[in-house]
Structures are given as structure tokens and as C-alpha cells.
């Protein structure tokens, strides 16, 4: 099936608010297109999941992890051609305290880095990447740890950690494809809990990841779950959700919503499983 590319069929949303998305859905379009990075795509996907409308993605942000894991090309023209072909897939989404994430949600190091990056951008007016490098250096020099109790599908785990990472499906942890996902429809949350370590320990961990030598149980704990609850000694915690940081009440509740998102994407080929 080829999807007709018309204003009625596709509504491109770039830097639009929730009201624009609601208005677009009220016209009963064949799909909604999100043009932007992971944060923009997340905001639009939240509404298309509720409405049951297919989502098209034009990867035009700084980082486009979801688009990349879908197999979409980087070129906007080629991505638009994929949308126009109208091939639909259904993929999993995650939820944290009722809010959707397409890629991942985390507590600890990364959330602190994003907060510091935004402060540097606002205070000094510097670019995003430069601000992120400065924020990363500041946070990683003194990696703060915190105590958590994790309830993973009914089992309890107590840890002190600088970083709890929850992915929508499995992430590749090491080697040249680290940070990518082989599949978006395996029906699991992947949970990674980093063991306490200093700045040089984090550098060593990055090097072991590069050369494929990360060890479950030594460097981090790895779990798979359909539901996860993270208890904290604080009443609220910062959560980074698809790159955006917000405060949320503790305990923090994660769950998977299998095949909840309809998305226009290239066909899933068997060789993609070998990445």
C-alpha cells in the first residue's frame, strides 16, 4: 500500500505544542508525522498511542536514536519516502509513572548531566554539544551514588549506584554498535544498574565496553522485566526520559506496553537481528 502524501493524510509537527497535536488528531488523519529529535517524537507518540493513529518520523533533531533503531535513513527525503510507502509496524513502548518513553528512562548520572547542560546553555549561551561536554566532565569527575530498592517482577534488589537505566527492549552494551537496539518488539524492559565506581572506573568501563569486555555482575547488574518499581529515600527524583529531564514522585514505576505504538517504518529484515 502506498500512502497518499496530502495535508489530510499527513500533518507535520515541528516544535508544536500539545494543542496542535490534539487539533491534528481531531481531523482523523491517516497518520501523524513528527519532525524533530527524540524529545519531539516522544511528545507526538504519547498522543498517537492514545488515539491509535500511525506515527511517521522525520529525523531532524540533534539525536535521533528512535529513528535509527527503526532503521529509518538519515536523509529527510529518504525518510519521507519511507513514510509515503505506508508500511506499518507495531513496536513496544515503555512507561515511567504514566509517561511514555520510546528509548529509555534513567535515574542518576545522565539526568544530572542534562540538568547541568541546560544551566550552562541558559547562563552562558553556549552550544548544546559544548555544554554537554562541560556538564559531562563536571558530573563524571565526582559521580554521585544513591541508594535504591528495586522490585523487578516481584523480586527485591538493594543497591547503591550512580546510575539506573531502563531501556525499551535490549540495548547493545559493547562493541561498535553500543547504544543501539536490535529489536523494538521483543516485549521486555532492559534494566541496567551500574556498580559504584570513581571517575577512573567510569573511564575503564567505557574502554571495556568499546572492546567488548563488560561483565554482568562485576561492572553492572542486568535484568529483564515487564514491570519495575524503584524506591528512593527521597520524595521525588529526577528522571531522564528520552533525553528530557523532569522531577517525578517516588517510588518510580516502570512498565512495558507491548506493541502499543503503530509506526511507519522500513520492513524488518532478518539480517537486522545480527547487528
Catalytic center residues: 244
Burial 38-76 (b: 16+ CB within 10 A, else e): bebbbbbbbbbbebebbbbbbbbbeebbbbbbbbbeeee
Residue from 219, 118, 226 nearest 166 by CA: 226
Q: What's the CA gap between 195 and 138, in Å, rounded?
A: 20
Q: What's the CA gap between 15 and 34, in Å, rounded?
A: 9
Helix (H, G, I), strand (E, B) or coil at 129: helix
Count of CB atoms situated within 10 Å of the CB of 86:
17
Q: Rounded to whole angstroms, what are the CA distances from 214 to 172, 173, 218? A: 11, 8, 8
- Per the listing, cell 518513553 goes with 101
Total residue count of the chain as it appears in this document: 275
**Residue 235: Cβ-neighbour burial (10 angstroms; 0-12, 13-18, 19+):** exposed
Number of H helices, E strands in the chain: 7, 15
Run of H or E residues at 223:
strand 220-225
Amino acid at each position: 500500500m502506498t500512502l497518499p502524501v496530502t495535508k489530510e493524510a499527513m500533518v507535520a509537527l515541528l516544535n508544536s505544542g500539545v494543542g496542535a497535536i490534539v487539533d491534528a488528531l481531531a481531523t482523523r488523519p491517516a497518520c501523524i508525522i513528527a519532525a524533530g529529535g527524540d524529545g519531539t517524537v516522544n511528545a507526538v507518540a504519547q498522543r498517537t498511542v492514545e488515539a491509535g493513529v500511525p506515527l511517521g518520523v522525520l529525523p531532524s533533531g540533534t539525536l535521533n536514536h528512535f529513528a535509527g533503531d527503526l532503521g529509518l535513513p538519515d536523509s529527510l527525503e529518504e525518510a519521507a519516502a519511507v513514510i509515503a510507502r505506508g508500511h506499518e509496524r507495531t513496536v513496544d513502548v515503555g512507561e515511567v509513572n504514566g509517561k511514555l518513553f520510546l528509548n529509555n528512562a534513567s535515574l542518576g548520572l545522565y539526568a544530572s548531566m542534562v540538568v547541568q547542560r541546560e544551566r550552562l546553555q541558559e547562563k552562558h549561551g553556549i552550544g548544546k554539544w559544548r555544554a554537554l561536554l562541560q556538564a559531562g566532565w563536571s558530573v563524571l569527575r565526582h559521580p554521585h551514588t544513591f541508594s535504591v530498592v528495586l522490585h523487578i517482577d516481584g523480586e527485591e534488589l538493594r543497591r547503591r549506584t550512580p546510575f539506573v537505566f531502563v531501556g525499551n527492549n535490549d540495548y547493545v552494551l559493547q562493541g561498535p554498535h553500543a547504544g543501539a537496539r536490535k529489536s523494538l518488539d521483543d516485549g521486555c524492559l532492559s534494566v541496567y544498574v551500574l556498580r559504584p565506581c570513581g571517575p577512573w572506573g567510569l573511564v575503564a568501563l567505557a574502554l571495556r565496553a568499546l572492546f567488548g569486555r563488560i561483565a554482568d555482575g562485576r561492572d553492572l547488574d542486568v535484568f529483564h522485566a515487564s514491570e519495575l518499581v524503584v524506591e528512593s529515600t527521597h520524595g521525588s527524583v529526577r528522571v531522564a526520559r528520552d533525553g528530557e529531564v523532569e522531577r517525578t514522585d517516588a517510588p518510580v514505576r516502570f512498565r512495558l506496553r507491548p506493541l502499543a505504538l503503530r509506526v511507519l517504518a522500513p520492513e524488518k529484515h532478518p539480517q537486522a537481528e545480527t547487528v
